[in-house]
């Protein structure tokens, strides 16, 4: 999975809109701070949505698999 995420991080500017579509509670500042780092994305999703780390990671994996970067 890390290979897919490496591609995602490299294309962060392009996928930011997709992230906002999926997780609308994330702010532009959140996206700047995340800067393509998966762990930071998971942390912000946990914070904004009040969910467990495992659930945030599951959502990210599901989303990334659909995105096909």
- Neighbouring C-alpha atoms within 13 Å toward the C-beta of 24: 1
Contact residues for 63 (Cβ-Cβ < 8 A; gap 6+): 18, 22
Is residue 30 pLDDT above 90, yes or no? yes
Q: Specify the pLDDT at position 69.
A: 54
> Could you tell me where the DSSP H helices lie in 1-69?
2-10, 12-22, 28-34, 38-49, 53-67
**Predicted confidence band of residue 59 (pLDDT cuts 50, 70, 90):** very high
Class of domain 2-67: mainly alpha
Contact residues for 34 (Cβ-Cβ < 8 A; gap 6+): 12, 19, 26, 40, 41, 44
Higher pLDDT, 64 or 50: 50
How much is the average pLDDT of 34-56?
Answer: 96
């Amino acid at each position: 999975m890390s290979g897919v995420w490496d591609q995602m991080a490299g294309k962060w500017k392009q996928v930011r809109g997709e992230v906002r579509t999926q997780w609308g509670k994330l702010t532009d500042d959140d996206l700047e701070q995340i800067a393509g780092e998966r762990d930071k994305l998971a942390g912000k999703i946990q914070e904004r949505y009040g969910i467990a780390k495992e659930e945030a990671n599951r959502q990210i994996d599901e989303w990334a698999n659909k995105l096909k970067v």
